[in-house]
Amino acid sequence: MAEPDADHPGMDHHGGEGSGTSRLPANEIMRHGAMVDLGSDATLMLHGFVWPVYTDQTGPRGDDKFYVQSMAMATVEKPFEGGKLTLRTMMSLEPAMRHDGYPNLFATGEVAYGEPLVDRQHPHDLFMELAGKVDFDIGEDTTAFLYGGPVGEPALGPSAFMHRASARYNPEAPITHHWFDSTHITYGVITAGLGGPQWQIEASAFRGREPDEYRWNIESPKLDSWSVRASFAPSPTWLLQASYGQIDEPEELHGGEDEHRTTASVHYNDGRGLSAMAAFSAKNRQPGDTLTAWLGEVNWDITGRHTLFGRVENVKNDELFPDHSDPLHGTPFRVTKFQAGYAYRLPLGPVNVALGGSISAFAKPDALDPYYGNSPMGYTVFARFSLGD
């Protein structure tokens, strides 16, 4: 992330805060696009983006599409004696897309038109977060907190990909999304935790079922799953996270199949434009096999205008052939995705514009060649308009 401008009007700097209650390195500073004084020490902070993207994914299973990603966030903070109240909402107009979202080779997860999504990334829901958090000062540098709401994110996995600087200009969701941060939109969450400047421990109860394909509504909250997470920041540059969750029937078409998920991640941000993350996840299905995934990503703001970014993912996935009559149905394949991109950034007052693109290549077993081709590729071009970072 580029060095923040402390004198920029209308900006509020929050270091170390990720999505939900997750943490990031203290150097990872979010600059809100607008800040409004509501009186009585209450503050409204606004942030968001509109992100037109064109992608072309090659090979027999590839497709091309122009689509628009979007997110709008509003946060109200109100301090009180001995603590602070925070109310947050996050919304998206991505439900205006078709239910099957956009092409993304080797991505799987969720449902569209009654069928499992394969080689596509689903759109986000209208309500991505509708939650509140209360912090209580209980000792020197120690805080207790309670977070929850009808739409939120439990204490499981690293901060969601659209909220971490290492993925800021990457136009594609990770193909490992459903290994690391698929619970970032959950209908019904309660989280309690303790934390200090360098550490945080927390536990959540939440609804395990992933959102359905009808994304304009708020689904019925339910607390049938649980998770725990620990975070440690040895310095403002680093953040380590480990978490475990037991998720009740997460997938709509796999009734009776639960998931035990274990994740670990290391985040780095030097405060001068270089941010990175390395992460591991094991998805142990009950009943079923354990499927593992690795993820590494980086974002380097070379100057105030030029940014390079990249991602490497390796995942063992047995959902590439959902048709039960297919001889490869349920067969696990380990696939690696390599992605590199560039963005040219042009600040225009409170609005930041980024123009760029990315290219992807894949390493896969030869048995997948008849279905994906010998050397499938992915190409994207984009224009990202954001209020704040």
Instruction: Say if 225 falls within a structural domain.
Output: yes
The answer to whether 148 and 207 have CB atoms below 8 angstroms apart is no
CATH number for the domain that contains residue 235: 2.40.160.10
**What is the DSSP secondary structure assignment for residue 182, as one 8-state letter?**
G
pLDDT tens, position by position, 58-72: 999 999 999 999 999
Q: What is the pLDDT of residue 44?
A: 94
How many Å is the maximal CA-CA distance in the chain? 65
Reduce the secondary structure of 22-41 to three states and give it as a string.
CECCCCCEEEECEEEEEECC
Residue 115 CB neighbours (<10 A): 13
pLDDT interval class at 5 (50, 70, 90): very low
- Rounded Cα–Cα distance for residues 316 and 372 (Å): 16
- Considering only CA atoms, which of 147, 265, 238 is closest in space to residue 195? 147
What are the phi and psi torsion angles at 282 (to 5°)? -120, 125
Instruction: Say if 4 falls within a structural domain.
Output: no
Which residues span the domain enclosing 229?
A: 13-387
Distances in Å between the Cα of 387 and the Cα atoms of 31, 48, 51, 194 are: 9, 5, 12, 32
The residue length of the chain stands at 389
23-48 core/surface letters (b: 16 or more CB in 10 A; e: else): bbbbbbbbbbbbbeeeeeeebbbbbb
Helices (H), the chain: 177-180, 369-372
- Kindly state the average pLDDT of the residues 170-174: 96
The answer to whether 322 and 329 have CB atoms below 8 angstroms apart is yes
Q: Is 96 left (phi over 0), alpha (psi -120 to 50) or beta?
A: alpha
Instruction: Say if 84 falls within a structural domain.
Output: yes
Instruction: Say if 216 falls within a structural domain.
Output: yes
Q: What is the pLDDT of residue 14?
A: 56
Helices (H), 52-130: none
Instruction: Say if 204 falls within a structural domain.
Output: yes
- Rounded Cα–Cα distance for residues 382 and 168 (Å): 13
Instruction: Say if 373 falls within a structural domain.
Output: yes
pLDDT interval class at 140 (50, 70, 90): confident
Instruction: Say if 6 falls within a structural domain.
Output: no
Q: Is the pLDDT of residue 45 over 80?
A: yes
Q: Is the pLDDT of residue 281 over 90?
A: yes
Number of domains in the chain: 1
Instruction: Say if 2 falls within a structural domain.
Output: no
Question: Could you tell me the pTM of the whole model?
Answer: 0.91
3-state SS, residue 291: strand
The answer to whether 293 and 180 have CB atoms below 8 angstroms apart is yes
What are the phi and psi torsion angles at 39 (to 5°)? 85, 160
pLDDT tens, position by position, 89-106: 999 999 999 999 999 999
- Rounded Cα–Cα distance for residues 79 and 75 (Å): 13
pLDDT interval class at 133 (50, 70, 90): very high
Q: What is the pLDDT of residue 12?
A: 41
Q: Is the pLDDT of residue 31 over 50?
A: yes
